[in-house]
Amino acid sequence: MECNKWDESGLLYMANELSQPLTSEFEQHLKICQCCSNELNQYFLERKKYFSAAFLCEPTPEHLDKKIISLCAKPMIPTGIGIFYLPWVKRVLFSALVFALGVGAGGYFTFAYYQSKSSSAYAQSKVTAPSKTVNATATAALDTAKKSLPQKGEKVLPVKPPQGIVPVDLKKE
Amino acid sequence: MDSLQDDQVLFDKWMRGDSDGFAALYERYKNRVFGFLVRMTGDREIAEDLLQDTFVAAMRNAQQYDRQRNFLSWIFGIAHKRTIDYFRHVKVENEHLLDTDRSVGKGPDQPDVGLSNEYLNTVINEAVKTLEPMQREVFLLRELGDVAFKDIAHIMNCPINTALGRMRLALKNIRKELKKRGIHGVQ
């Protein structure tokens, strides 16, 4: 028959993972429970006799040891800039770098946007605005045309046909 | 100075670029980690590759090492991940389970008259081999790595009661196997 207390606490007790009150409680229980006491003794002796490093460990080949030590034992952190490997320094530097990149990228795009906007406006103004000479000629032509038009209240005379040409009344014909 | 503090000192030495720090840590734990990998994969050559991967990964992720944690637990955690990756990669997990099931059905071997260490070694390793992979892993993490159950639960991503349950089953099955092979408990 198995005692539930062993299932609850036995392995944790052996692993020193029980809190102080639970450890005391389990030790008190061990004094009165033969089942848990036997289980504890058996596991303790099994660990000592069978589950020891002598049986469960495996020797590693020498060539592998050399290879792993040569791969991993190299200095991981250059001592000169070792401070940069401290976690908080790394975090601060990383944040500063991200911030700087963000500001740089934002600034670049804003600059590019305004630059493109102003250059397109300049190009548009170049296309639509006439030159001063063209403008003056056009104004003079417009004035002449306006002058040639009959003014308000002025009688418009019929146009005389040139000599030698007799007007024909088409109704009579 | 206890082992935990000693590991921290060696780890710090390693971090400062002193190769002796790593060499000492490696010498201290290589056989345990290798034993774990050999028993989990069942193949020495694969275990050799995984041992190398484990320590290289430890080197690469050294900045993530939580100093409150036991160094050995951390290394076993990495070894566990490497093993899982290996099984995922070659997709042999089902075969692995089938192998285990087949070996559970083996009949009892005749024990030698005197239980020599060599014989015991064979019998214990055979018994461990018959465990289901999850039970075997909990058993090896606990007995080889001396990893705390809360860390085993963390490594295997399961509740602590599941880890404890697997350990209980592993012990029960190992005892059964040892009995089959003529070892009747501990005198």
Residue B34 token pair:
């290798």
Spatial CB neighbours of B124, under 8 Å, sequence gap ≥ 6: A50, A51, A55, A56, B174, B178
Q: What does the pLDDT read at residue B5?
A: 66
Q: What does the pLDDT read at residue B105?
A: 42
Same domain, B67 and B130: no
Taking the CA of residue B116 and the nearest CA in chain A, the distance in Å comes to: 12
Residues 40-99 in A contacting B (C-alpha not used; CB under 8 Å): 42-43, 45-47, 49-51, 53-61, 64-65, 67-69, 71-79, 82, 85, 87
Do B55 and A79 make contact, defined as CB atoms within 8 angstroms? no
- Whether residue B175 is contained in a domain is answered as yes
Of A42, A47, A71, the CB nearest to B143: A47
What ipTM describes this predicted complex? 0.73
Query: Taking 70 as the threshold, does the pLDDT of residue A84 lie above it?
Result: no
Nearest Cα to B137, choosing from B36, B49, B45?
A: B36
- Whether residue B128 is contained in a domain is answered as yes
- Whether residue B31 is contained in a domain is answered as yes
CA angle, residues B37, B47, B140, in degrees to nearest 5: 10
Lowest mean pLDDT among A17-21, A24-28, B34-38, B119-123: B119-123
Query: Structural domain boundaries of chain A?
Result: 4-61, 78-125
Residues of B in contact with A45 (CB under 8 A): 186
Digit-coded pLDDT (tens) for A125-138? 766 666 667 778 88
Q: What does the pLDDT read at residue B153?
A: 92
Average pLDDT, chain A: 80
Query: Taking 50 as the threshold, does the pLDDT of residue A74 lie above it?
Result: yes
Same domain, B10 and B71: yes
Q: What does the pLDDT read at residue B112?
A: 41
Same domain, B41 and B8: yes
Do A77 and B186 make contact, defined as CB atoms within 8 angstroms? no
- Number of separate domains in chain B: 2
Q: Which residues of chain B have pLDDT under 50?
A: 1, 102-113, 187
- Whether residue B5 is contained in a domain is answered as yes
The whole domain housing B151 covers 111-187
Query: Rounded to the nearest 10 degrees, how much is the dihedral formed by the CA atoms of B168, B170, B174, B180?
Result: 90
Same domain, B6 and B79: yes
Spatial CB neighbours of A97, under 8 Å, sequence gap ≥ 6: none
Q: What does the pLDDT read at residue B136?
A: 92
Of A17, A68, A82, the CB nearest to B149: A17
> Alpha-carbon distance B35 to B32, whole Å?
5
Contact A43, B176 (CB under 8 A): no
Q: What does the pLDDT read at residue A137?
A: 82
Taking the CA of residue B144 and the nearest CA in chain A, the distance in Å comes to: 7
Same domain, B42 and B79: yes
Do B15 and A76 make contact, defined as CB atoms within 8 angstroms? yes
> Alpha-carbon distance A168 to A95, whole Å?
98
Structural domain ending residue among the three candidates B91, B122, B138: B91
Same domain, B78 and B120: no
- Whether residue B150 is contained in a domain is answered as yes
CA distances from A96 to A90, A147, A155, B156 (A): 10, 74, 86, 37
Q: What does the pLDDT read at residue B37?
A: 92
Taking the CA of residue A82 and the nearest CA in chain B, the distance in Å comes to: 8
Residues of B in contact with A55 (CB under 8 A): 120-121, 124-125
Taking the CA of residue B109 and the nearest CA in chain A, the distance in Å comes to: 18
- Whether residue B54 is contained in a domain is answered as yes
Residues of A in contact with B38 (CB under 8 A): 58
What chain A residue is nearest to B121 in terms of C-alpha separation? A55
Q: What does the pLDDT read at residue A90?
A: 74
CA distances from A91 to A88, A97, B69, B151 (A): 5, 10, 22, 27
- Whether residue B100 is contained in a domain is answered as no
Q: What does the pLDDT read at residue B47?
A: 92
Structural domain ending residue among the three candidates B63, B91, B119: B91
Same domain, B87 and B122: no
Q: What does the pLDDT read at residue B109?
A: 41
- Whether residue B155 is contained in a domain is answered as yes
> Alpha-carbon distance B90 to B64, whole Å?
28
Residues of A in contact with B47 (CB under 8 A): 58
Digit-coded pLDDT (tens) for A87-141? 677 778 888 999 999 999 999 999 888 888 888 877 777 666 666 677 788 888 8
Would you say how long chain A is, in residues? 173
Contact B182, B126 (CB under 8 A): no
Query: Taking 50 as the threshold, does the pLDDT of residue A72 lie above it?
Result: yes
More confident residue, A4 or A170: A4
Report the CATH number at residue B182.
Answer: 1.10.10.10
Residue of A6, A18, A51, A91 to mutate for B, most B C-beta atoms under 10 A: A51
Strand residue runs (E) in chain A: none
